[in-house]
Amino acid sequence: MDGGGYKHMPDLPNAQSVAKYFIWKSNQEGKQITNKKLQKLLYYAQAWSLVLKNRPLFKDKIEAWIHGPTIPGVYHFYKKYGFDPIKEKVTEAEIKQIPERDVLDAVWDAYGRKYDADYLEILTHNEEPWQKAREGISLNVSSSAEITLDSMQDFYKSFLPA
């Protein structure tokens, strides 16, 4: 999968545009969203798109950083907020073209509405895709190791009924 057809899918949006959906959603519901929480929601959205739709949601790679799965471009765009909530206003027009809103809403309902960034970090640290990508790397050492689409799809599809 990673070495195959998924790498060159130019019609896929970038993770930044998908991030806007989660920021919009959090604003709609009066919930706060930090950069760290946003990273985890994007990770879970990618994973569940792979499982439920058999295709990636966005083209950006996800790296296994110290604090969990991270999309570097999105992280750097929002790092000015530090650990504080993202204070960006997103309009409906900005998210109109985002595909797979059913997957995004399901991820929001399962992870975004209920859990904070620290819980989601712990959750991802206890799951195989992040652990596999960081094999042989100390917990406190920076890494740009990629969490592969294959590892995400294989792990999360195991949660579906047979």
Q: Please list the pLDDT of the chain residue by residue as tens digits (162 residues).
A: 444 445 556 678 899 999 999 999 999 999 999 999 999 999 999 999 999 999 999 999 999 999 999 999 999 999 999 999 999 999 999 998 888 899 999 999 999 999 999 999 999 999 999 999 999 999 899 999 999 999 999 999 999 887
The model's pTM: 0.92
3-state SS assignment for residue 37: helix
What single-letter DSSP state applies at residue 112? Answer: I
Phi then psi dihedrals of residue 13, to 5 deg? -70, 170
Q: Are 16 and 77 in contact (CB under 8 A)?
A: yes
With both helix axes pointing from N to C terminus, report the angle between 15-28 and 35-52 in degrees, rounded to the nearest 10.
Answer: 110
- E-assigned strand segments in 42-119: 62-65, 68-70
